[in-house]
Amino acid sequence: MKKRLYIELENCIGCRSCLAACTQCGGHEQRNRNYVYDVNPHVSRQTMPLMCLHCENPACARSCPAQAIQIHETGAVLSALVEKCIGCQNCTIACPYGIPKFDEEENLMYKCDLCIDRTKDGIPPMCASVCPSNTLQWLTEEEIERKQQQYDLDNGKWVTSMPYLEGATNVKVNLPGILQGTEKLF
Amino acid sequence: MAETALRKPVKVAHSYNGAFASKFAKSMFTTVTLLVILSFIGTRMFTHVDLNLYGYMVGTFVFLGGFFYRFIAWGERPPTKIIITKGIKLMFRKSTPKTSVEHLATYKFIWNRGIYRWTQHVMLGWGCILSCLVTFPLVFGWMYFTMDEGGYYTVVAMGVNVMTVDADGIIAFFFYNALNFTAIMVIIGVCMALYRRLKNMQARAEQKFMYDFLPLYLLLFISITGLILTFMNVFLHGAGHYAMSMIHQYSVVVTLIYLPFGKLAHIPFRPLSVFARNYREHYGEQSMKKCKVCGDEFVSTEQSQDVINVLGTNEMDFTMEKDGFNLAELCLPCRRKYRIARFSGFATHEVKTKEANQNAKG
């Protein structure tokens, strides 16, 4: 059954397990490809993870002159093919979320590949399999739909603050409950 | 004014370009004509064509067809077109020779990816390049041998007698065995690559037979059949030579035809990495883009604008009306923080603080 990465942002406790797990994925060569940010660094401890969202129409691949960024049949937007990447760094400029990293020494871009060696066989990516607070989850379409219904009151009173993504993505994100206007206030 | 003139050169109808129905036709015609002219000169008016090798010649022409088809189609993609046109314009930078040697000859960037992969790539890459440098001059008659005096070969290059070597001497030995040495190099490289593909987890996850293994097997097949030819001549008194030479020839022709379409296509396309480096260096020296949020310089103004335009041709526009910037005008940390701001509703990107601990180092 097809599963997706699903991110419940408000659950994040900032432990950075996902970063550590990312370094251990086969082929990631001890370097993590994801991020965890403090929302309001000097005031609160709230953190949120930022992963590649695996856009359905990825700007990184569209801007690549060498067609080095391939899209896997599972929808994962893969890291640059090593033999094709020419090191122009267009992808790092094009990505609306600032995800791709670039290694100057190796003249090579690298980004989250959704642990394709695992997810192509239905095994959750490293980050989701270690997340202790269920921020990163590996769910089926039905489970994600049920989650989203739970947050959508559709009573005309509560709306999200603003559109928060630039396009359709394979990774699904939900905004913190407080913004969704549910009763989940803390 | 000068800059606009540079960017939009006035198009002069060129009579040569006008003679062809397409870019493909022009490239094909020009290249084939050039090869024929070079052969005409090299073979002293076609008097020294080695017809034993004519299969390779036909293979080369078919390869050129595939190569131009693939390369021209690829060059029409908007981001590729930008790198190619600007790369050609910036070809004669002072740093070009150094960059070219590092990217195309010594593979310094692969060295930085690991010594194993570098050794493998040098063996494969230089094995193939040297083989081509030996084979194609022989095929097109740019180089051949004559024996005017018994026991001494005269090396003729482009129709000119270059040197006379002792047929049993050390130099002649290297001439005869050049392809044997390169075959051994290729075999070592292929074996290293196959071993890595069987052991490396990332490679095992992503590799496909047709894309990753087939080119290796093709190279291996060419090298082994080539070595068998030598073996047959040296130890079997030439028994089976003709059959094997046809097998070898067909394997080379098939590989040539396949070359522009599979993984091996990165060989002719690789000079683009020199273009890309020049593009970044040149426009980086001209003017750097300041991040619209933190003010750090992060990329050349030119590239930032090019990416915005390329995304525009793909109907993607990341202009944030409310905040007054395009996402391509934000440095990477600010762009990430801006996304957190969009998730949370709090303007994270406006807090002047360094991003904390993103490297999983405790």
**Residue A114's pLDDT is what?**
92
Chain B contact for A45, CB < 8 A? no
Q: What Å distances lie between residue B343 and A139, A144, A172, A174, CA to CA?
A: 21, 18, 13, 9
The amino acid sitting at B228 is I
* Nearest in space to B226 (alpha carbons), one of B200, B211, B201, B246: B246
DSSP-assigned letter for residue A33? -
All residues of chain A having their beta carbon less than 8 Å from the beta carbon of residue B340 are: 37, 39, 48, 50
**Residue A124's pLDDT is what?**
94
CA dihedral (A114, A119, A129, A47) in degrees, to 10, reads: 20
Residues of chain B with CATH 1.20.950: 19-273
Say whether pLDDT at B164 is over 70.
yes
**Residue B183's pLDDT is what?**
97
Most confident of B45-54, B146-155, B211-220: B211-220
Q: Which two tokens stand for residue B111?
A: 């060295």
Instruction: Name the E strands within chain A.
Output: 3-8, 35-38, 47-50, 101-103, 108-110, 136-140, 172-174
**Residue B248's pLDDT is what?**
95
**Residue B149's pLDDT is what?**
83
Q: Which residues of B223-255 are buried (b: 16+ CB within 10 A; e: fewer)?
A: bbbbbbbeebeeeeeeeeeeebbebbbebbbeb
Residue of A185 and B298 predicted with greater confidence: B298
Chain B contact for A24, CB < 8 A? no
**Residue B77's pLDDT is what?**
92
By DSSP bridging, strand A172-174 and strand A35-38 are unpaired
All residues of chain A having their beta carbon less than 8 Å from the beta carbon of residue B336 are: 35, 37, 50, 97-99
Instruction: Give me the CATH code for the B19-273 domain, please.
Output: 1.20.950
Mean pLDDT estimate for chain B: 90
pLDDT band at B323 (very low <50, low <70, confident <90, very high): confident
- Chain B: closest CA distance from residue A16 (Å): 7
In angstroms, the CA B79 to CA B308 distance is: 11
Say whether pLDDT at B335 is over 70.
yes
DSSP-assigned letter for residue B297? E
Q: Which residues are CB-contacts of B241 (< 8 A; sequence separation ≥ 6)?
A: B229, B232, B233
pLDDT digits (tens, 9 = 90+) for B94-144: 999 999 999 999 999 999 999 999 999 999 999 999 999 999 999 999 999
Q: Which two tokens stand for residue A59?
A: 């700007």
Say whether pLDDT at B44 is over 80.
yes
DSSP-assigned letter for residue A55? B
Burial of B328 (0-12, 13-18, 19+ CB in 10 A): buried
**Residue B302's pLDDT is what?**
93
DSSP-assigned letter for residue A27? T
The amino acid sitting at B203 is A
Say if the Cβ atoms of B311 and A63 lie within 8 Å: yes
Say whether pLDDT at B37 is over 90.
yes
**Residue B220's pLDDT is what?**
97
Q: How many CB atoms lie within 10 A of CB B160?
A: 10
**Residue A154's pLDDT is what?**
58
Say whether pLDDT at B1 is over 60.
no
For an interface test with B, the pick among A50, A77, A93 (most B C-beta atoms closer than 10 Å) comes out as A93
Residue of B104 and B345 predicted with greater confidence: B104
All residues of chain B having their beta carbon less than 8 Å from the beta carbon of residue A52 are: none
Please state the rounded mean pLDDT for residues B42-61: 90
The separation between the first and the last C-alpha atoms of chain B, rounded to the nearest angstrom, is: 54
Q: Which residue of A has its CA nearest to B316?
A: A59
All residues of chain B having their beta carbon less than 8 Å from the beta carbon of residue A95 are: 335
Chain A contact for B74, CB < 8 A? yes
Q: Which residues are CB-contacts of B116 (< 8 A; sequence separation ≥ 6)?
A: B192, B196
pLDDT digits (tens, 9 = 90+) for B193-204: 999 999 987 788
Q: What Å distances lie between residue B10 and B7, B18, B134, CA to CA?
A: 10, 16, 43
- Chain B: closest CA distance from residue A64 (Å): 6
Please state the rounded mean pLDDT for residues B231-253: 93
- A-B CB pairs within 8 A amount to 178
Which pTM value belongs to this model? 0.86
Q: How many CB atoms lie within 10 A of CB B46?
A: 11
Please state the rounded mean pLDDT for residues B293-319: 92
Integer-rounded Cα radius of gyration of chain A: 17
| Per-residue model confidence as pLDDT tens for chain A (186 residues) | 789 999 988 889 999 999 999 998 887 888 899 999 998 888 888 899 999 999 999 999 999 999 999 999 999 999 999 999 999 999 999 999 999 999 999 999 999 999 988 898 899 999 999 999 999 999 999 998 888 776 665 555 554 545 578 888 999 888 765 544 444 444
Q: What percent of chain B lies above the pLDDT cut of 70?
A: 95
**Residue A110's pLDDT is what?**
94
**Residue A26's pLDDT is what?**
80
Q: What Å distances lie between residue A138 and A53, A112, B56, B104, CA to CA?
A: 13, 16, 54, 43
Is the Cβ–Cβ distance between A74 and A1 less than 8 Å?
no
In angstroms, the CA B250 to CA B159 distance is: 29
Phi, psi of A37 (to 5 degrees): -120, 145
**Residue A185's pLDDT is what?**
44
